[in-house]
């Protein structure tokens, strides 16, 4: 399918109603409505969905560096700015008919690497801050994030009889997309540090005579 045909197909797409199994599916459907004009432009330019996937990973890896430098609020703002990119590859793949097993594999793999880049950036910052509690929690989050792909692969291996139509396609993981998982962390981290700071000692109470 060439870019012009893909753009025409996008114009005929209408969101399905009443078929969402999870809140994430509903949110993705609403996001695709917003992204439709941009998807149409990318389809006309014949941009491959895998290119968008790789670009999203590079952007999030860069934000991981921003976190590592201690610019948590800036990193959170940048995550909000690039959040649509993370859903753009799947929307583009579905719109132009380029869904593939390799695309789903690439998307899932780079999602986990994006998680790792963001978590390690935050971890580097809080190691310098000496906040061992948050460092431990972030390392637990890193392990849990990397387990997602392993558990999914084991589940698919346990049910080899499932048809290709039942196999999750690109961007159909029902957990929140990577950028959204770290908005709250980056926004709350300065406030956490403020709350965790011990209160200054006040004047000693005066004896009542």
Q: Tabulate helix, strand, coil % of the chain (nearest 5).
A: 75, 0, 25
131 is catalytic: no
122 sits in which H/E element = helix 101-129
Tell which residue, 142, 127, 164, 28, has the closest CA to residue 87. 28
Give the max Cα distance, the chain.
Answer: 91
Among the options 111, 115, 131, 166, which is catalytic?
111
49 and 105 Cβ atoms separated by less than 8 Å: no
By annotation, the residues acting in catalysis are 111
């Amino acid at each position: 399918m060439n870019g012009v045909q893909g753009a025409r197909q996008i114009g005929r797409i209408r969101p399905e109603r009443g078929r969402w199994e999870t809140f994430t599916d509903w949110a993705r459907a609403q996001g695709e409505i917003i992204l439709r004009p941009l998807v149409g432009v990318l389809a006309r330019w014949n941009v491959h969905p895998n290119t968008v996937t790789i670009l999203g990973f590079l952007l999030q890896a860069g934000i991981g560096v921003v976190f590592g430098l201690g610019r948590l609020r800036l990193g959170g703002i940048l995550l909000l700015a690039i959040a649509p990119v993370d859903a753009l590859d799947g929307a583009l793949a579905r719109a132009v008919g380029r869904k593939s097993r390799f695309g789903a594999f690439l998307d899932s793999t780079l999602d986990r690497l994006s998680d790792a880049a963001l978590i390690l950036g935050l971890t580097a910052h809080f190691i310098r801050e000496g906040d061992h509690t948050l460092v431990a929690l972030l390392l637990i989050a890193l392990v849990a994030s990397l387990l997602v792909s392993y558990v999914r692969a084991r589940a698919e291996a346990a049910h080899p009889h499932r048809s290709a139509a039942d196999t999750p396609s690109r961007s159909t993981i029902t957990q929140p997309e990577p950028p959204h998982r770290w908005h709250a962390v980056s926004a709350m981290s300065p406030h956490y540090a403020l709350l965790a700071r011990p209160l200054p000692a006040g004047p000693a109470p005066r004896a009542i005579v």
